[in-house]
Amino acid sequence: MKLFLRKHLAFCVSFFLLNIETVAGHGESNIFSDDEESTLDDKYIVIFEETLNDISVSDGAMSTEDVTSWTDDLVKKYNFEKKNVYSDAIYGFSASNVTRGDIEALRKEQGVLLVEKDGIVTIDVIEDKRNGQKRKMEANCQRRQRNTPWNIRQVGWQNVEKNERFKNKRVYVIDTGIAYLPNVLNIDTELARNFLSDEADDRSWEDCNGHGTHVAGTIAAKRNNCGIVGVASGATVVPIRVMNCFGQGKISDVVAALSYVTKTANVGDVVNLSFGGKVENGQKIMDVAVQMASRRGILFAISAGNDAQHSRDYSPARASGNGIYTVCALNHNRKIARFSNYGSPPIDVCAPGKNIPSLSLRGGRYSRSGTSMAAPHIAGLLVFGPLGNFGSVMSREDGISYTYTVPRLV
């Protein structure tokens, strides 16, 4: 487990299986841009210093009223347009109509920790070439498949649906939402939320992209006719939607989602973050948000990245703290997948991530690759408690040898 770090972190976010875009849309690896033509050029995220003082649920550093009041004062002072207010573990707000002069002034305001630009993320999914046409793939599931997928055989699985021990255990999937598939997924529809600020209905948590549903299936699917089954089969999943049907979202909305999860999750609940990105300009909001939430006793499974590079330059993959696990991807032969990021620290564990079959939007079988697909295996294992050591794998990159733990259900 990595030691907790508070300083010298940086931030940039995109889904793994995502293509990071600059807000100007030039396809660079850093989504933060100073391009004045960017659609998010005047949108920023402000985090208060009290965020670092928040330790426990019972003794929070700021009340919701305090955060709202402070936010409203700054919004009025600088003539901002308020977007999100963060009042649980992460304290601050996001706003538009922010000028360059405002940024410098804000950073000098007493009690302000971070002022960072908002950005856009876009999904770029790696599909399994064997999927074929969706219609044909779905039809193949009409004949019951009894074989457990290779990845689940490697990690192990258990049906927890009627086990009282897991009655109050939940796994939050911060992603594109989850398809409403009551026959194969136990979804907490009361806690489910949509944090897309461009959509008026915050209850529209259902997936219309497929990424989040695939992740949820690996974590908790009940066995279906396609042979799909989750690591913690029948566990309760909570859809937290931060990406739209086209696979696009905003960093400020992801931070709002993490704030909400911090407020509603119980100690020992699990969060899957199959997203992240390479750092360019020294931003750190996502790292801080994850680390503050983990101090509340929430467990995290985080994708390491798909660029075959060292994960120390990726966020939130390098976020450190008790209960935070960064995950690299393995292939069928229990070797590090060619696309997977590497480096320990920050990587803690590895799990299957190459050609992973899981749920499609209609409840069928669909395969994808990436560390996005590796992380939910660990999220499923965390439902059961401390990870069991199934052995280790090694890789040699840049002349350095790395050894990674490969957990399994024990």
CA angle at 393 for the pair 312 and 215, rounded to the nearest 5°: 70
* pLDDT of the residue at 60: 55
Per the confidence metrics, is the pTM higher than 0.75? yes
* pLDDT of the residue at 125: 59
Give me the chain's average pLDDT, please.
84
Question: Is 50 exceeded by the pLDDT of residue 277?
Answer: yes
Catalytic residue among 41, 211, 233, 377: 211
Catalytic residue among 175, 207, 253, 313: 175
Catalytic residue among 33, 197, 344, 372: 372
- Compute the distance between CA of residue 396 and CA of residue 198 in angstroms, rounded to an integer: 44
| 42 flagged as catalytic | no
| 211 flagged as catalytic | yes
Please identify which residue in the block is written with the tokens 């909570």: 238
Over residues 26-79, the pLDDT tens digits come to 222 233 333 333 336 789 999 999 988 865 444 556 899 999 999 999 999 999
**Residue 142 CB neighbours (<10 A):** 9
* pLDDT of the residue at 120: 75
Q: Which of 35-44, 301-310, 368-377 has the lowest mean pLDDT?
A: 35-44
Please identify which residue in the block is written with the tokens 């700054």: 74
Residue 33, Cβ density class (10 Å: 0-12 exposed, 13-18 middle, ≥19 buried): buried
* pLDDT of the residue at 141: 62
Please identify which residue in the block is written with the tokens 């305001």: 109
* pLDDT of the residue at 115: 95
What's the token pair of residue 26?
A: 């030039």
| 377 flagged as catalytic | no
- Compute the distance between CA of residue 238 and CA of residue 171 in angstroms, rounded to an integer: 6
Most confident of 175-189, 244-258, 285-299: 175-189
Q: Is the peptide bond before 386 cis (omega within 30 degrees of 0)?
A: no
Over residues 195-246, the pLDDT tens digits come to 998 876 666 999 999 999 999 999 999 998 888 999 999 999 999 999 898 8
